[in-house]
């Protein structure tokens, strides 16, 4: 009987450990690249106001690529909801990303820091702003038109999307915002010039 109970306790311990390893947040890496999905950190080092180095302390972007040869130059940043206590990463993250990528978009699903883990506003808002800045900064890398980047959010994610332009205060400014905004303006200017040149060529070809 004691041996049976010991085996039962060992099984419970193993099962509990296995469950704990199934992290509820995204981890940076390229292990799903063959599926056209990979995850990056928003900051190469510790994020501002980070309270630790666990998964819950590291905001990330999971990137979903459109089918090869079907990209339309557009991108969407997806902010799942969850009342700031969790993230509906499947229903309001992956499924939304799949819908957009099927239509030629690059989709970037944000795993932002949560109030339930000690991150009150404006920290999640800072993550949302950083996500947009990151997509703008890497527009060329993903063949994205910087004039065609949109954001969509659900529940708490919708709240962040609606307030993404609210100032977070000077303590949150690491210079990245200014750099990416300037780079984004340059890219948008170049894209507008290219669009005008294409339009002139089309006019010249008209019968």
Q: Please tell me the distance from the alpha carbon of residue 186 to that of residue 1, in angstroms, as a whole number.
A: 74
Res 196 pLDDT > 80? no
Higher-pLDDT residue of 77 and 24 is 77
| Mean pLDDT, all residues of the chain | 80
Res 179 pLDDT > 60? no
pLDDT in tens, 111-160: 999 999 999 999 999 999 999 999 999 999 999 999 999 999 999 999 99
Amino acid 26: pLDDT? 76
Ranges of each domain in the chain: 30-186
Higher-pLDDT residue of 191 and 83 is 83
**pLDDT confidence bin for 167, thresholds 50/70/90:** low
Higher-pLDDT residue of 1 and 67 is 67
Q: Strand 149-153 and strand 75-79: pairing? A: parallel
Res 193 pLDDT > 80? no
Q: Which residue has the tokens 């890219």?
A: 187
Amino acid 108: pLDDT? 98
Orientation of helix 123-137 relative to helix 176-205, angle to 10°: 40
Q: Is CATH 3.55.40.20 correct for 30-186? A: no
Amino acid 5: pLDDT? 42
Establish whether the linkage from the previous residue to 151 is cis, with ω within 30° of 0.
Answer: no
Residues 6+ positions from 108 with CB-CB distance below 8 Å: 61, 62, 63, 64, 75, 76, 77, 78, 131, 134, 135
Amino acid 166: pLDDT? 72
Q: Please tell me the distance from the alpha carbon of residue 66 to that of residue 37, in angstroms, as a whole number.
A: 10
pLDDT in tens, 89-114: 999 999 999 999 999 999 999 999 99
């Amino acid at each position: 009987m004691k041996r049976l109970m010991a085996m039962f306790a060992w099984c419970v311990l193993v099962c509990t450990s296995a469950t704990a390893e199934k992290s509820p947040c995204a981890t940076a890496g390229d292990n799903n690249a063959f599926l056209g999905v990979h995850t990056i950190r928003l900051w190469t080092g510790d994020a501002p106001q980070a309270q630790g180095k666990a998964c819950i302390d590291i905001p990330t972007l999971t990137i979903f690529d459109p089918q090869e040869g079907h990209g339309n130059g557009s991108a969407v940043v997806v902010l799942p909801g969850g009342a700031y206590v969790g993230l509906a990463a499947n229903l309001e993250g992956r499924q939304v990303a799949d819908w957009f990528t099927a239509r030629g978009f690059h989709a970037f699903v944000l795993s932002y820091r949560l109030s339930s883990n000690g991150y009150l506003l404006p920290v999640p808002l800072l993550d949302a702003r950083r996500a947009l800045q990151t997509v703008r900064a890497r527009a060329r890398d993903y063949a994205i038109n910087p004039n065609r980047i949109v954001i969509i959010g659900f529940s708490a994610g919708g709240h962040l999307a609606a307030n993404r332009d609210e100032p977070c205060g000077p303590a949150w400014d690491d210079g990245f915002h200014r750099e990416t905004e300037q780079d984004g303006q340059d890219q948008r200017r170049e894209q507008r010039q290219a669009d005008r040149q294409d339009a002139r060529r089309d006019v010249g070809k008209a019968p």
